Amino acid sequence: MCVRQKVVDKIESVPLIKVEKPKKVSGYFGSNTFSISEMQKRIGKKTFVSFKRWLAGGSTISMEEADEIAGAMKDWAVEKGAVYYAHWFQPMTGLTAEKHDSFISLQGAGKVKEKFSGSKLILGEPDASSFPSGGIRSTFEARGYTAWDPSSPAFISETQLGKTLCIPSIFVSYHGYALDKKLPLLRSDEALSKAAKKLLKLFSPRDIAKIVSTCGPEQEYFLIDHNYYKLRQDLMLTGRTLIGASSPKGQQLEDQYFGSIKERVLNYMEEVAVEAYKMGIPVTTRHNEVAPHQFEFAPIFEESNLAADHNQLLMEIMKKVALRHNLVCLLHEKPFAGINGSGKHVNWSMADDQGNNLLNPGLTPEDNLQFLAVLVAVLRAVHKHADLLRASIASAGNEHRLGANEAPPAIVSVFLGEQLTKVLDTIVAGTAHKVTKKDIIDLGVSRLPKVNKDATDRNRTSPFAFTGSKFEFRAVGSSQNISWPLTVINTIIADSLNYVAEEIIKELKNKDFESAVVAVIAKLAKETKNIRFEGNNYSSEWLFEAKERGLPNVASTAEALAAFAEKGNIAIFEKQGVLSYDELMARYNIWVEMYNIVLTIEASTLREMVDSIVVPAGLEYQGQLANNLEKISGLKATIGLNIDEKAFEDLKGHLADVTNKIFYLRKNTQVLVKLLEKAKSLEGKEKAAVYFNELKPLMEHIRKHSDDLEGVIADEHWDLPKYREMLFVM
Ligand code: ADP
Ligand code: MG
């Protein structure tokens, strides 16, 4: 048996250590977080009032108050067993970062005491000069700073042996430039709040303190046994399989989707949920996804900033817990070719300070003017800035997924559903905007109640779909930090809410309120008609129609990212106070560079695997065939072995076939090496263009040859875990 066969033979669940936990989730939810109520118990009333005022957007707390909160936070963490604390932040790599410091401070010779001050809580100086900054901050320049984000509760991260207090923070340069993904999101939320308040003020005299964006991200992922992973350097180094022949059975029968969950996976899901609940992450939905060994977790929605932190934490928990079960959690957008990849549906809406959802149509959308005004603002944002939305999800990983018959194409369109479409069309036509009878669906079963046909989405292919009371941005990649797409959504919608408010104010000069609003809705519904599409986004007809409509369809990551370097787009970010020219250009540069780095790593890994695993396996099998042929032809000569001439030719053909396959593989790999060499002198978008147009197709071509070879050589010569094993044996 070869290594791979031995591994497959050994695949089994690991014995589980029973985790002790209270029976009810409510008994331990958030127990590892320094929640507002925990803080309230531990600090004075005056400080607590100041803190709440700060959170609501009022003046900041004083240094004395910060000291008091820091002391309380430290006491709580030390009681829980924490020895270290860390500012936890989200640099532009898309991952999270932390630098740990101990609470101890020296108290004379040989004595220490646990201490934590307000200034240490508020500001960290991790330096952290090796994070990409896109030129905003040269390494010789002043430090990078982390600053406490009080709107996301501090939490304790635990391993078997130790605990660390983590303080969610932003990451800025000495000159105040955002070096992370959290600060822009916070700024965009402020812009959104300001604009939405301006619009809502026209509809109601009530003073709204704050409006926030809300988000519930649905996280898709794959699980495979850890033993496979260890034998696949492509998975280890790049997160995806660069070679591997398809399994004859993949997802064709659709027998995985929502199917009963394997026990080993269910155990894993149980433990992830326990860890998530301790962190106050409200995961609620879990199920099998479309592809074999693909699954999903979805939480209850929260404020975007919190949802983004929680999603980052959840991804870390998912990876960590998987290892305890001898599994590996793959978050890459396309770990396996030929079957569905993974995305993250980012559900987005807005809520006011009383929790009212601004995208809630109510019972009669036709009458709900405010809802429609907000809705057309969203339509305008997507219509005007489809390029920014596309750019917000551009990455090397997601490039494999968009438009690959499983995810929306790179064309951005909006789905509204039949009812809302009708409403908008009626308003545009200038006919009645009065209540029409609510549509009722009779489910045809007398025991079931009759339900209102709501404005909910029945179209699963749209990249930006209205799904009842929220929009669902479906093109986001599974491994992505959602802060950035949320930032872009908030920014462009803030801009549009502002626009709608101003347009209404203009119309009010010669119209009554209702007519003014209807006029603006009609104008925008008409102007944005192009971006609305109710059909199948996966179909080839749509590709054609979208082109006719003049909608952009940018397949390449670097070209999509160029939207961030576009003058008009930069102006929007500047106007909304989200990012300056320098900050945005830095992001553009970093992400193009990251694309290039990812592809260089992938190509180098592919080269090595072909040369050191695939070709040697081929040669071994070739040797076996050659020996065999030599023997047979010897027997023919010596004892006159009487075999059909065709059978003899077939033996020769078989050897020739394997030999040729090896040759083509080697030939193309040599071309790849030359191409990588040539690309060394290029950088930025020029390099990305060569990679997209030449390197990627070449890698696909090499893969095809390798997969062909995998299909013919003896199973015992193939040491790389096969698709049929990774995806079906667990
Ligand atoms: P599906 O999209 O599969 O039909 P649901 O509609 O139940 O599923 O919701 C999917 C996700 O959308 C969940 O994470 C949910 O919390 C989130 N969600 C629901 N309402 C809102 C909202 N107002 N704002 C943001 N996210 C929301
Ligand atoms: Mg969904």
| Domains of the chain, start order | 31-180 (3.10.20.70), 188-594 (3.30.590.10)
3-state secondary structure at position 460: coil
Q: Give the C-alpha separation, 302 to 8, whole Å.
A: 42
CB 321 within 8 A of CB 336: no
Proximal ligand: closest to the CA of 476:
2
Provide the pLDDT for residue 443. Answer: 41
Does the pLDDT at position 416 exceed 60?
yes
d(CA 34, CA 36): 7
pLDDT bracket for residue 728 (50, 70, 90): very high
Nearest of 397, 390, 353, 360 to residue 375 by alpha carbon: 360
DSSP category for residue 470: S
CA–CA distance, 711 with 199 (Å, rounded to integer):
62
Please tell me the least confidently modeled range out of 28-42, 117-131, 223-237, 260-274. Answer: 117-131
Dist CA 586 CA 134 (whole Å): 4
Least trusted range by pLDDT, from 245-254, 487-496, 653-662, 711-720: 245-254
Of 67-81, 366-380, 591-605, 638-652, the one with minimum mean pLDDT is: 366-380
Residues 6 or more apart whose CB falls under 8 angstroms from that of 548 comprise none
Residue 300 in contact with ligand 1 by CB distance below 6 A: yes
User: Taken in order 336, 693, 414, 492, is the CA torsion positive or negative?
Assistant: positive
Q: How confident is the model at residue 430 (pLDDT cuts 50, 70, 90)?
A: confident
The yes-or-no verdict on residue 140 having pLDDT over 60 is no
Which of 347, 348, 476 gets mutated to test ligand 1 (max ligand atoms within 8 A of its CB)? 347
Q: How far apart are CA 425 and CA 726, in angstroms?
A: 50
The closest of 506, 532, 533 to 520, measured between CA atoms, is 506
465 lines ligand 1 (CB under 6 A): no
Q: Is 347 in the pocket of ligand 1 (CB under 6 A)?
A: yes
Residues around ion ligand 2, judged by CB within 5 A, are 345
pLDDT class of 18 with cuts at 50, 70, 90: confident
Which pair of structure tokens corresponds to residue 597? Answer: 């780095």
pLDDT at 638: 94
Amino acid identity of residue 214, one-letter, is: T
What angle is formed at CA 255 by the lines to CA 6 and CA 345, rounded to 5 degrees?
100
pLDDT at position 128: 64
Other C-beta atoms lying within 10 Å of the C-beta of residue 434: 9
| Statement: residue 664 has pLDDT above 90 | yes
Residue 367 confidence (pLDDT) above 80: no
Please identify, by atom number, the ligand 1 atom nearest to the C-alpha of residue 349: 24
Nearest atom in ligand 1 to 457's CA: 4
Say if residues 708 and 616 touch (Cβ distance below 8 Å). Answer: no
What's the sign of the alpha-carbon dihedral 356, 354, 193, 507? positive
* Ligand 1 center to 710 CA (angstroms): 43
d(CA 152, CA 240): 33
Which of 213, 300, 470 has most ligand 1 atoms within 8 Å of CB, for mutation? Answer: 470
Greatest extent of the chain over all pairs of C-alpha atoms, in Å: 108
Q: Is the pLDDT of residue 695 over 50?
A: yes
* pLDDT of 439 higher than 60: no
Cα 519 → chain centroid: 38
DSSP 310-378: HHHHHHHHHHHHHHHTTEEEE--S-SSTTS---BEEEEEEEE-TT--BTT---S-GGG-HHHHHHHHHH
What's the mean pLDDT when you consider all of the chain?
90
- pLDDT band at residue 456 under the 50/70/90 scheme: low
pLDDT band at residue 136 using 50, 70 and 90 as cut-offs: low
Whole-model pTM: value is 0.94
Mean pLDDT of 213-219: 98
Does ligand 1 come within 6 angstroms of the Cβ of 467?
yes
For residue 357 and ligand 1, the question of a CB distance below 6 A is answered with yes
SS3 (DSSP) at 225: strand
Classify 60 as helix, strand or coil: coil
Ligand 1 atom nearest residue 298's Cα:
14
- Residue 241 CB–ligand 1 contact under 6 Å: no
**Confidence category of residue 698, pLDDT binned at 50, 70, 90:** very high
Quick check: 185 pLDDT over 90?
yes
Ligand 2 centre to CA of 345 (Å) is: 6
Q: Is the CB of residue 403 below 6 angstroms from any atom belonging to ligand 1? A: no
User: SS3 sequence, 146-165?
Assistant: EEECCCCCCEEEECCCCEEE
Instruction: Find out whether the beta carbon of 341 lies less than 6 Å from any atom of ligand 1.
Output: no
391 in contact with ligand 1, CB cutoff 6 A: no
408 or 304: which leads in pLDDT: 304
Indicate whether 139 pLDDT > 70.
Answer: no
Q: Are 320 and 331 in contact (CB under 8 A)?
A: no
CA distance 612 to 620: 12
Give the residues across from 402 on adjacent strands: 407
Q: What stretches of 367-445 show up as alpha helix (H) in DSSP?
A: 369-384, 386-392, 396-399, 418-429
C-alpha count within 13 angstroms, C-beta hemisphere, residue 385: 28
Question: How confident is the model over 660-682, as a mean pLDDT?
Answer: 97
The predicted-structure confidence for 245-281, as pLDDT tens digits, reads as follows 998 888 877 777 777 888 999 999 999 999 999 999 9
Q: How far apart are the C-alpha atoms of 288 and 222, rounded to whole Å?
A: 10
pLDDT of residue 365: 60
Strand pairing partners for 346? Answer: 217, 473
Kindly give the pairing relationship between strand 163-173 and strand 82-89.
parallel
What is residue 557's three-state secondary structure?
helix
Which of 254-258, 403-407, 668-672 is the least confident region?
Answer: 403-407
CA of 28 relative to ligand 1 center, distance in Å: 24
The mean pLDDT of 342-353, rounded to a whole number, is: 96
User: What confidence score (pLDDT) does residue 421 get?
Assistant: 86
Backbone angles phi, psi at 696, to 5 degrees: -60, -50
